[in-house]
Structure 1
Amino acid sequence: MNERFFQLGTALRALAVVAWIGLGAPSVHAQVAVTKPQVVVLATGGTIAGAGAAATNSASYQAAKVPVDKLIAGVPELADVAQVRGEQVFQIASESFTNEKLVQLGKRVSQLVRDPAVNGIVITHGTDTLEETAFFLNLVIRSDKPVVVVGSMRPGTAMSADGMLNLYNAVVVAADPASRGKGVLVAMSDEIHSGRDVAKRINIKTSAFGSQWGPLGMSVEGKTFWFRLPAKRHTVNSEFDIESIETLPEVAIVYGYGNMTTELYDAALRSGAKAVVNAGTGNGSVPNYAVEKLKSVRAQGVQVIRSSRVADGFVIRNAEQPDDKYDWVVAHDLNPQKAKILAAVALTRGVSSQDLQRIFWEY
């Protein structure tokens, strides 16, 4: 009899536990589910923080007006993705970025990724120089944690503003463990691009950013989808480290065009440039009347880098000009502004022209 009562009591207790769970008792799974990744949003200004006088002002507005807390509060859905907090690093339009600001931003990102509690970083940025900042961070941040740069082409006050969704997607990418180890990323217009490859290609469309080698993936309805991986060295595999960089040397870009004046190279030298990027026509071409001037530039210890003003393709070494003979470097597939960033970072180590060419092949 006692054994039957014991069995009955055990069964009743089991039923009570089942009922308690059914009424909403927190399960172990539920407790784990509420722990969301921590994402820090570093705001630098730009159109994504801009405001216009009317909803129809999508191209004429004031950039860098909205503080980071309001940006985050404007996208309440972020709370479903991650624990998000913001920091206002700068409040500027991105054409006003300087080398000093690049270094300052890089050092703050480096501090944050070393924090075990931080899972990812989002940087809101103006679109004009967004690609340069993304590439710089891709070279100097020694971490596999996701760092995602994001902007918008329209201010939040405009009809069909793109900033809210771009910011949401950027946080989704930064919070996703699958984003680790892919280098610094750019999230724009639902696409996920490598910070190394991406470029702003048009100034009046929300689909302004693209990569000639294509996006790495897409962000759709709160999920990331990946299709390729970056092949070039970056972040944890980079030989560069923001912790050892205090200043960046001056690198000048001289734009090539028909009947160009060679005095532009002289101006670059007077500015103290340690390297000159020749944004040449076609295959990084140098006009015959400018060859001697560029040879003179190199003879003065200044690196000469042949890039191209053409949006896509790459510069072939020893084609158009005998680069080996003149001790010049080619930028390969990097556009002039990306070549400028890589040259500046590389020259913090005082590299030779041979080593600089290796760096352009590898990064």
Structure 2
Amino acid sequence: MKRPRIRILATGGTIAGSAGSALRRGYRPGQIGVEDLLASAATLEIDAEFDGREIAAIGSQDIGWREWDALYREITAALEDEAVDGVIVTHGTDTAEETAFLLDLALPAGKPVVLVGAMRPADAVGSDGMRNLANAARVAGDAGAAHRGVLVVMSDHVFAAIDVRKAATGGTEAFRGFPRGPIATVTPTSLDWFGPADRLGRPARFPWPESLPKVMILTAYAGMEADTVGCALASGAQGIVLAGLGQGNAPATVIEALAAAKVAVVRSSRVDQGSVDRNLEVDDDELGFVAARALGPAKARILLQVLIASGITDPAAMQSEFDRR
């Protein structure tokens, strides 16, 4: 049986991080290059063939358009290469959900594309990086991973990009999924899917943009003042995501300022988990707002950026995209 050929695209992060001591708390991300990652993977005797490309060597808090554009182009080339069976992106955990979701919106649901990271640097006691990488290889080389969109592998679980989020600042079990939890469990020697692939034949949802417009996230809090909206607009924001209280709410003066703004407004929630629905406490129909539904503020921002870049600015059309799964 032919061994799967997997391309690893490295961006840095904790999985490539080093503390210089097994017990040191602080560390620097992105210190281990892709060739060293490949060498470490080789010692695990993973049943796959690898090649690698280094996109960046940064912490994911610094990732942005330049890295995303390079990743998209490298992944597209890999998906078009008949010799490549799947792609792994090594990535920091802080913004993994944003990168995964952006790529998921603009890639066809064909060969497996898997993001993987680590919560502990490579030289720490109990480092999870190599186990996560071995798990990601198991997923990326599995025919059952095709036609599921972009996936994220962490802590022996597989998450869909649209569901995944980082829900804890520390610990190897930091990732969760909403509204679905994990869609599979994985170890270096096993993989169990919880259901069939649901995107067979689905093309890319959006074209890859030439750039992403500026969209700001405003977090609501008790006593929030309306001038925060003006500050966002003055900075050149073409859209605003409200990380609102509860069901995406905010003080009345802030809601009024958002309604008066001449930009797209999406209501999400600062609450870790739950949906924001239309027309509950806030009259979205009257005010021209969009409800983020199950997307948290970070992903709502990504989708709003892509929508604006694609020329979709009508609130009703935007809402239909936020309603999609």
TM-score range, shorter chain: over 0.9
- Contact kept? 1:148, 1:173, Cα under 8 Å: yes
Q: What fraction of aligned residue pairs are identical, expressed as a percent?
A: 38
**Distance in 2 (alpha carbons) for counterparts of 1:172 and 1:127:** 20
Q: Deviations over 1:319-353 (max 9, x none)?
A: 11110011110000100001001111111111111
The answer to whether structure 1 residue 217 and structure 2 residue 180 are counterparts is no
The answer to whether structure 1 residue 270 and structure 2 residue 234 are counterparts is yes
Q: Which residue of 2 aligns with 1:313?
A: 274
1:153-164 to 2 correspondences below 5 Å: 153-164=119-130
The answer to whether structure 1 residue 175 and structure 2 residue 141 are counterparts is yes
Q: Which residue of 2 aligns with 1:260?
A: 224
For structure 2, list consecutive stretches of 5 or more residues without a partner in the other structure. Answer: none
- Contact kept? 1:216, 1:230, Cα under 8 Å: no
Q: Which residue of 2 aligns with 1:137?
A: 103
**Distance in 2 (alpha carbons) for counterparts of 1:236 and 1:96:** 31
Shift of 1:311: 1.0
Aligned in 2, Cα 1:262/1:104: closer, same or farther, shift over 3 Å?
A: farther
Number of equivalenced pairs: 323
Q: Which residue of 2 aligns with 1:353?
A: 315
1:49 to 8, 12, 16: 16
2:303 to 334, 339, 342: 342
Shift of 1:143: 4.1
1:207 to 142, 163, 173: 173
Letter in 2 for 1:226: W
After TM superposition, the runs of 4+ consecutive aligned structure 1 residues lying more than 3 A away are 77-80, 228-231, 233-238
Q: Deviations over 1:192-218 (max 9, x none)?
A: 001111100111101110113210001
Q: Deviations over 1:111-159 (max 9, x none)?
A: 2111111110000000010110011111101241100000000001100
Shift of 1:107: 1.9
Computed over aligned residues only, the root mean square deviation of the Cα atoms, in angstroms, reads 1.7
1:59-208 to 2 correspondences below 5 Å: 59-76=25-42, 79-208=45-174
Q: Deviations over 1:222-258 (max 9, x none)?
A: 2210113677x7993443122xx21111111000111
Bigger shift: residues 185-194 or 96-105: 96-105
Shift of 1:171: 0.9
For structure 1, list consecutive stretches of 5 or more residues without a partner in the other structure. Answer: 1-32
Shift of 1:79: 4.8
1:226 to 189, 193, 200: 193
Shift of 1:76: 2.0
- Contact kept? 2:109, 2:148, Cα under 8 Å: no
Bigger shift: residues 329-338 or 139-148: 139-148
- Contact kept? 1:283, 1:307, Cα under 8 Å: yes
Q: Deviations over 1:39-86 (max 9, x none)?
A: 0000000000000031112x4101110001101211225654211111
Q: Deviations over 1:169-191 (max 9, x none)?
A: 10110000110001100010000
Bigger shift: residues 70-79 or 274-283: 70-79
**Distance in 2 (alpha carbons) for counterparts of 1:43 and 1:235:** 28
Tell me the SS of whatever aligns to 2:267.
Answer: strand
